[in-house]
Chain A
Amino acid sequence: MSAPTLYGLCAAALVGIGLFGLILHPTPLRKVISFNLVGCGAFLFFGIAARRGAGAGFAGDPIPQALVITGIVVAFAATALAVALILRMLEAGASTVDAKPLPPDDLSP
């Protein structure tokens, strides 16, 4: 098994685990972590693309690395925003954010 294939399988596994958590974990914090797992999978895909040197026939393509760095920053910002929202919810009186699932129907703003 070549290294890119192994990485590819890892990436796929990360995405799978992340999606599972994103869909089925009821609590927001776990969803945020799951999102980060899927994101890591996506970044790994970029890494494989770099390794395979698809772009311009380089041995190691530098562009995906730039993309991954940007992507990590974006994911970090997203995580920070999500955590900030969760904290604000705690302050606003939802004492059990971590244990309580998002209610299915919250149309009443």
Chain B
Amino acid sequence: MMPAQVAAPDGVLLILALMLPSIGLLAIFVLGHSRPERIALPVLAANLAVALIVALQVGHSGQAATYRLGGWLPPLGITLRADGLSAALIAMAALILFVVAIYARGNFASKAGGSESRQPMVFWTLLLGLSTALNTVFLAQDLFSLFVALELLTFSAVPLVCLEGSRETLRAALRYLLFALAGSVLYLIGVALLYGAYGTLDIASLHQVTRADRATSIALGLMIAGLMAKAALFPLHLWLPPAHAGAPAPASAVLSALVVKAPFFLILRLWFDVAPQPQPVIAGTMLAALGAASILVCSVLALRQARLKLMVAYSTVAQVGYLFLVFPLVMGSEAAVPWASIGWTGGVLQLVSHAFAKASMFLAAGLIAEAMGHDRIDDLGGAAEAVPISIAAFALAGLSLMGLPPAGGFVAKVMLLTAAVVSANWWIAATILAGGLLAAGYVFRVIGRAFADPAGGAPPPKAVARSRELAVLSLAGVALLLGFLPLQPFAYLGIGQGGMP
């Protein structure tokens, strides 16, 4: 490899995407005991700027940006690489984290002149930790670095669940941690097997050498199952509802919107870049079947929840199910390469639009609960009067989940449906449509209650800051804007996919 490429200027930004949040995290420990948000907010803003510049550069050059740490080549060195998909995802993560941070000033702003307090301190450092971990997951190129990144993600996410410190949330956090660890350890065994078989963990190198033999199958099976546990795919979702529903709203938003997407992203990479080609149809169908079960079962469960946050949490499990429908759709398409197929694009768009919609929905649910003093769906009467912007944001985000136009979820759903029809997977088409109907059911249930008259004797709703409501609305707005993307594979997401070094 030419040294000139090692020092390519766009590559430096990738290391910055990893370093910035970590430096911010350390800076809070060193400098900012009393006002952690004063450090975290600018750092997240800078992180957003870096992510956007990387995304623009990748789009501009039409090539993946690469950085090799210390100039060492794989398998000894560690490579960071942003192709079109990774660049889009780090931009998405950075934007959501930034908006969530703006919102979270209302929850975790430390009091002026006050001494260090535990909750804000923990929240802001972990938010920066999450940012580092997510950027690493999206940029790292070898399976072991990805393992470390996933662990970092889990360790940042788990304490966010129990910020409140109550026994129930601690228990939810512990359950989350233990199940995630079970998943990680399966993944780690898979990594060991792959290393034993091929002597490398670099994805690009593995791409060229993997063969369909026993060791590879077992390794991939263990890794995919482990990642599924972390992505909370049905029936491995036991930890998600209590964890996501118990966390404070900004934490839930990040957990549901971003954290569960990271393991899915890895499954995507394992499937398309590591698994020997062509991937067996039966395995793809199994992935989609679990996804379909997730959609149907967890949508019904969401419909039956009494608490708003639990409803949104179950909806996350259902929506993650849509992502897993991608595998047989891509295999059944006529496109020459997966990323040129409409199913792959639809899956990625579903991931992104769900991230924005779900972040908005959890934040809105948080504001609704703050205003009303509870989050029992049946008693939400009057919420539309008390927090109209939050309800509007909730409804707009709901449009995306239901897959109604003009939301991003609609475009994603149409793409997935098209791919399902083209590949004659009618059962997938039916599942997508049924999932949309069920989602409409649970979203309208909330909206309908919010517009009802307030119950007699209910305490008057508290006011919430307008800026926080607008932050929520802006996320829903992004989910809506995604609906104006054209219904065809995006060239951007294919950048750097085929030409792996």
The answer to whether A and B touch in the complex, with CB atoms under 8 Å apart, is yes
When chains A and B are docked, how far (Å) is the Cα of A48 from the Cα of B193?
A: 10
Besides A35-B178, A39-B188, A42-B188, 9 other A-B contacts (C-beta < 8 A): A35-B182, A46-B192, A49-B196, A54-B195, A67-B144, A70-B144, A82-B181, A88-B162, A89-B170
* Complex A-B: 30 CB contacts under 8 Å: A18-B185, A22-B178, A38-B182, A38-B185, A46-B195, A54-B197, A55-B195, A56-B75, A56-B199, A63-B75, A63-B195, A67-B144, A67-B191, A70-B144, A74-B148, A78-B155, A78-B177, A78-B184, A81-B159, A85-B177, A89-B167, A92-B166, A92-B167, A94-B171, A102-B175, A103-B171, A107-B242, A107-B310, A108-B242, A109-B246
**Is the beta-carbon distance between A35 and B192 smaller than 8 angstroms?**
no
The 7 A-B pairs with the shortest beta carbon distances in the complex, nearest first, are A109-B246, A45-B192, A55-B199, A54-B199, A49-B196, A42-B188, A92-B167
Interface residues on chain B, size class: 35 or more
Residue in chain A with minimal CB distance to B152: A74
When chains A and B are docked, how far (Å) is the Cα of A81 from the Cα of B175?
A: 12
B139 within 8 A of A: no
**Is the beta-carbon distance between B174 and A28 smaller than 8 angstroms?**
yes
A82 contact from B75, B166, B178, B196, Cβ within 8 A = B178
A74 contact from B76, B151, B199, Cβ within 8 A = B151
**Is the beta-carbon distance between A49 and B173 smaller than 8 angstroms?**
no
Once A88-B162, A93-B167 are accepted as A-B contacts, the answer to whether A15 and B189 lie under 8 Å apart by CB is yes
**Is the beta-carbon distance between B174 and A109 smaller than 8 angstroms?**
no
Which A residues touch B188, using CB under 8 A?
39, 42, 71
Which A residues touch B193, using CB under 8 A?
45
B198 within 8 A of A: yes
**Is the beta-carbon distance between B178 and A31 smaller than 8 angstroms?**
yes
When chains A and B are docked, how far (Å) is the Cα of A93 from the Cα of B200?
A: 48
Query: Smallest Cβ distance from B220 to chain A, in angstroms?
Result: 15
B396 within 8 A of A: no
Within 27-80 of A, Cβ neighbours of B (below 8 Å) are at: 28, 31-32, 35, 38-39, 41-42, 45-46, 48-49, 52, 54-56, 61, 63-64, 67, 70-71, 74, 77-78
Residue in chain A with minimal CB distance to B170: A89
Within 267-291 of B, Cβ neighbours of A (below 8 Å) are at: none
A17 within 8 A of B: no
Query: Smallest Cβ distance from B252 to chain A, in angstroms?
Result: 10
Interface string of B193-211 (1 = CB under 8 A from A): 1011111100000000000
Query: Smallest Cβ distance from A35 to chain B, in angstroms?
Result: 5
Which A residues touch B166, using CB under 8 A?
92, 109
**Is the beta-carbon distance between A45 and B245 smaller than 8 angstroms?**
no
When chains A and B are docked, how far (Å) is the Cα of A22 from the Cα of B226?
A: 14
When chains A and B are docked, how far (Å) is the Cα of A70 from the Cα of B181?
A: 16
| Chain B residues within CB distance 8 Å of chain A | 75-76, 144, 147-148, 151, 154-155, 158-159, 162, 165-175, 177-178, 181-182, 184-185, 188-189, 191-193, 195-200, 241-242, 245-246, 309-310
When chains A and B are docked, how far (Å) is the Cα of A39 from the Cα of B183?
A: 11
Which B residues touch A18, using CB under 8 A?
185
Residue in chain B with minimal CB distance to A82: B177
**Is the beta-carbon distance between A54 and B198 smaller than 8 angstroms?**
yes
Once A49-B195, A56-B75, A74-B151 are accepted as A-B contacts, the answer to whether A85 and B173 lie under 8 Å apart by CB is yes
When chains A and B are docked, how far (Å) is the Cα of A103 from the Cα of B198?
A: 43
B75 contact from A32, A55, A108, Cβ within 8 A = A55
When chains A and B are docked, how far (Å) is the Cα of A92 from the Cα of B188?
A: 33
Once A61-B199, A81-B158 are accepted as A-B contacts, the answer to whether A32 and B168 lie under 8 Å apart by CB is no
**Is the beta-carbon distance between B168 and A106 smaller than 8 angstroms?**
yes
Which B residues touch A109, using CB under 8 A?
166, 168-169, 172, 242, 245-246, 309
Which A residues touch B199, using CB under 8 A?
49, 54-56, 61
Which A residues touch B310, using CB under 8 A?
107
Query: Smallest Cβ distance from A70 to chain B, in angstroms?
Result: 6
When chains A and B are docked, how far (Å) is the Cα of A93 from the Cα of B181?
A: 25
Query: Smallest Cβ distance from A25 to chain B, in angstroms?
Result: 11
Query: Smallest Cβ distance from A60 to chain B, in angstroms?
Result: 13
**Is the beta-carbon distance between A28 and B151 smaller than 8 angstroms?**
no
**Is the beta-carbon distance between A45 and B196 smaller than 8 angstroms?**
yes
Which A residues touch B245, using CB under 8 A?
107, 109
Residue in chain A with minimal CB distance to B154: A78
Which A residues touch B148, using CB under 8 A?
70, 74
Query: Smallest Cβ distance from A46 to chain B, in angstroms?
Result: 5
Residue in chain A with minimal CB distance to B171: A106
Query: Smallest Cβ distance from B467 to chain A, in angstroms?
Result: 27
Query: Smallest Cβ distance from B415 to chain A, in angstroms?
Result: 34
Which B residues touch A45, using CB under 8 A?
189, 192-193, 196
Which A residues touch B172, using CB under 8 A?
106, 109
Which A residues touch B185, using CB under 8 A?
18, 35, 38-39, 42
B167 contact from A32, A61, A94, Cβ within 8 A = A94
Residue in chain B with minimal CB distance to A88: B170
When chains A and B are docked, how far (Å) is the Cα of A46 from the Cα of B173?
A: 30
Once A55-B195, A55-B200, A108-B168 are accepted as A-B contacts, the answer to whether A78 and B189 lie under 8 Å apart by CB is no
Which A residues touch B200, using CB under 8 A?
55
Query: Smallest Cβ distance from B9 to chain A, in angstroms?
Result: 29
When chains A and B are docked, how far (Å) is the Cα of A74 from the Cα of B154?
A: 11
Residue in chain B with minimal CB distance to A52: B196
B76 contact from A38, A63, A85, A93, Cβ within 8 A = A63
Which A residues touch B174, using CB under 8 A?
28, 82, 85-86, 89, 102
Once A55-B75, A107-B310 are accepted as A-B contacts, the answer to whether A35 and B242 lie under 8 Å apart by CB is no
